[in-house]
Structure 1
Amino acid sequence: MKLSLLVSICLSCLLLLPPTLAASTPVAKIQEWQVPWPDSRPRDPYVAGPDRIWFVGQKGDYVASFKPSDEDFKRYDLAPGTGPHNLIVDKRGVWYAGNQAAHIGLLEPDTGNIDKFTLPGEGRRDVHTLHFDSKGNIWFTVQWGNQVGYFDANSKTFRTYEVATDSARPYGIIVHQDQPWIAYFASNKLATIKNDQLVELPLPRKQTLPRRLAVTPDNNIWYVDYGAGYLGRVNPDSGAVKEWRTPAAQNSRPYAMASDSKGWLWLVETGVQPNRLVGFNSQTETFSEPVPIPSGGGAIRHMVYDADSHSLWFGTDANTLGQARLNN
């Protein structure tokens, strides 16, 4: 089926549903640890093993690790003004997005050595969110530069794709079956790369502001609408879209998002204080009872799911690192 037809289907099949709450919460426990560097905005954790969580301090210009077993934090300083936004980890080291310094960095934890790979071009080059493909190469968004990028981690070369929609602000990104999917935070569109071309998929409501993405085992792509408080599902084959209003509705401001191994979606409502963690069962199409974040959260911007512990990890604007253990 042609993508133009997919878009037409997408525009005609929107279904808006009010939230239905489940009888009980599938969150067993939320635990938070105070990060020892004040007002540093710890964010975007990455689980690199049973006892090693990595994260960045966006306002503190650092990469850090945390060992839950002994509650030990270790900090690696970056150059002032780096503004790290996100990180991902593999056997080569810790890859971070130098959001304010136009580069992707690679930290070698044993030595502390950092290699920097500068994004080519002129203008805004604010590397935003990174995601590996199956070969260990990196897809990423460039929010204010209005680009999607690809970094070949072996040849150390970049390829960038210009976004056709002006000021779209490509934001959240996931890679599923080596195909990247991108959310435009300032436009009612998702995008993907197909046959080496960037293809945009409009969402039915013009007011939609998709921010983060996730994928479930049935291969559906999910997004949160930060602007109006919806959770949305896109069938990547047919283009069909279905949406559900999140529990706090227009006050929701859903931001961080992740999916687990059981087909549940997880989002954080940041428009209410304290922030609330909400689950959504994609089979029964019901939301769980919202669970307040103990620290309040301020804003939880990104979450990751760890299958080994069946838990979610997140950082908060309250300067904490958190883990939500699940019992769904």
Structure 2
Amino acid sequence: PARDEAVSRYLATNHPHKPSKAPILVPGSTNIVIDEWITPTLGQRTRDPIEAPDGAIWWTGMWASLVGRLDPDTGKMTEFPLPSSARPHSIVPDDEGFIWYTGNSNGTIGRLNPADGSIKEFPTQARDPHTAVFHPNGSLYFTSQHSNMLGRLNPKTGDLIEVDTRRKPYGIKVGKDGDLFVAFNGTNAIGRMDPQTLSLSYYDIPDEATRIRRLDLDSNGNVWFVNSSLGKIGRLNVETGAVTQWDSPSGATSHPYSMTVIDDVVWYNESGMRPDALVRFDPESERFQSWAIPSGVGIIRHTWKTRDGDLLIHQSSSNRVGRVRIGD
């Protein structure tokens, strides 16, 4: 207790609360319940949760080079060590129950077998695989932010192809027609990649200061994105190239980060605020609603839609993985 009190005094004196960082929370009619779990290994930088086919929640512990499994019904958690240099940035499950991770520090795509903890690694040309997604064709596509590359891995054969891109490809999602859409965090663009040829085209997004971390798609095939650097969210019509943007409630420094579309409603977070704010945007009414994350010292970097239509979140700085149960 004495040590805790001393630490609290030090933090209060040297790192005081900044009212300017408080989010502007917008009331509304949607009800949510946020469940949070503290992951076992402290300081691991818990992030990027996903739901496996069996309903388990998995996450990466980037700084501890591990991935973890959570049974949301019982709260039981199991952590699986990865190669110490892997520092996994994100994970995705396949239909067979394997967990695939991006080895952000050792230039690999890895496959974990949860049944026995065994790992198979696929070396990449890029030094920093970042975010991955499975395509209906069975291939794994991934971004490599600082290498300025995109890649495709055939999990069955191990064949791996990588191509150069514009600066800092970040988030990646599969579009309605099967093309892949890529967020760029180093230039004001969204990329579109043919899954077979890996040829790329680009949509230039207004304002050269625009930087986009994450994106998702609605049922009409529109791309929704966070304009992280300008405190906005936006919609891209992929047929016409038309872009519409809205200011996030907390303003230009709110730094929208994650992005998931559920039933054509947009969910994202304002990572520049303290506490971290979860935001809902209804495109039909063009209305926002927002909530403070209970443990909100930040930050949500990636989110995931569950089969039940809930939202998986996390808080890297406080070692938490969470689930947002969305009501009416």
Query: Which one-letter code corresponds to 2:144 in the other structure?
Result: V
TM superposition shift of 1:50: 5.8
User: Match for 1:100 among 105, 120, 129?
Assistant: 105
Q: C-alpha separation between the residues in 1 aligned to 2:46 and 2:139? A: 25
Q: Which residue of 2 aligns with 1:12?
A: none
Q: Which residue of 1 aligns with 2:22?
A: none
TM superposition shift of 1:135: 2.2
CA separation of 1:79 and 1:22: change in aligned 2, threshold 3 A: closer
**Preserved contact between residue 26 and residue 249 of structure 2 (Cα < 8 Å):** no
**Preserved contact between residue 161 and residue 198 of structure 1 (Cα < 8 Å):** no
Q: Deviations along 1:102-160, whole A, 9 cap, x unmatched?
A: 0000111111110000013xxx5200000010022111101010011111112211111
* Pairing 1:8-19 to 2, within 5 Å after superposition: none
**Preserved contact between residue 131 and residue 138 of structure 1 (Cα < 8 Å):** yes
User: Match for 1:257 among 238, 256, 259?
Assistant: 259
Q: Which residue of 1 aligns with 2:8?
A: none
Q: Which residue of 1 aligns with 2:16?
A: none
**Preserved contact between residue 43 and residue 58 of structure 1 (Cα < 8 Å):** yes
Kindly indicate whether residue 47 of structure 2 is the aligned counterpart of residue 43 of structure 1: yes
**Preserved contact between residue 26 and residue 291 of structure 2 (Cα < 8 Å):** no
Q: Which residue of 1 aligns with 2:20?
A: none
Q: C-alpha separation between the residues in 2 aligned to 1:35 and 1:92? A: 21
TM superposition shift of 1:325: 0.9
Q: C-alpha separation between the residues in 2 aligned to 1:183 and 1:51? A: 28
CA separation of 1:196 and 1:84: change in aligned 2, threshold 3 A: closer
Q: C-alpha separation between the residues in 1 aligned to 2:27 and 2:75? A: 34
Kindly indicate whether residue 87 of structure 2 is the aligned counterpart of residue 83 of structure 1: yes
Q: Which residue of 2 aligns with 1:284?
A: 285
**Preserved contact between residue 142 and residue 170 of structure 1 (Cα < 8 Å):** yes
Gaps of 5+ in 2: 1-24
Query: Which one-letter code corresponds to 1:42 in the other structure?
Result: T
Query: Which one-letter code corresponds to 1:283 in the other structure?
Result: E
Q: Which residue of 2 aligns with 1:13?
A: none
User: Match for 2:141 among 132, 139, 142?
Assistant: 139
Q: Deviations along 1:298-322, whole A, 9 cap, x unmatched?
A: 11100001132x2111121211011
CA separation of 1:72 and 1:46: change in aligned 2, threshold 3 A: same
Q: C-alpha separation between the residues in 2 aligned to 1:191 and 1:158? A: 20
TM superposition shift of 1:240: 0.6
Gaps of 5+ in 1: 1-20
Q: Which residue of 2 aligns with 1:312?
A: 311
Q: Which residue of 1 aligns with 2:123?
A: 118
Q: Which runs of 4+ in 1 moved over 2 A?
A: none
TM superposition shift of 1:251: 2.2
User: Match for 1:52 among 56, 59, 67?
Assistant: 56
Q: Which residue of 2 aligns with 1:178?
A: 178
TM-score normalised by the chain length of structure 2: 0.88
CA separation of 1:81 and 1:27: change in aligned 2, threshold 3 A: farther
**Preserved contact between residue 214 and residue 226 of structure 2 (Cα < 8 Å):** yes
Q: C-alpha separation between the residues in 2 aligned to 1:296 and 1:23? A: 18
Q: C-alpha separation between the residues in 1 aligned to 2:306 and 2:223? A: 19
Query: Which one-letter code corresponds to 2:191 in the other structure?
Result: A
Q: Which residue of 2 aligns with 1:15?
A: none
TM superposition shift of 1:31: 1.3
Which of the pair is proportionally richer in strand?
A: 1
CA RMSD across the alignment: 1.6
Secondary structure of residue in 1 paired with 2:252: helix
Percentage of identical aligned residues:
31
TM superposition shift of 1:282: 1.7
**Preserved contact between residue 100 and residue 111 of structure 2 (Cα < 8 Å):** yes
Q: C-alpha separation between the residues in 2 aligned to 1:135 and 1:312? A: 25
**Preserved contact between residue 44 and residue 314 of structure 1 (Cα < 8 Å):** yes
**Preserved contact between residue 61 and residue 84 of structure 1 (Cα < 8 Å):** yes
Secondary structure of residue in 2 paired with 1:291: strand
* Pairing 1:163-242 to 2, within 5 Å after superposition: 163=165, 165=166, 168-176=167-175, 177-194=177-194, 196-242=198-244
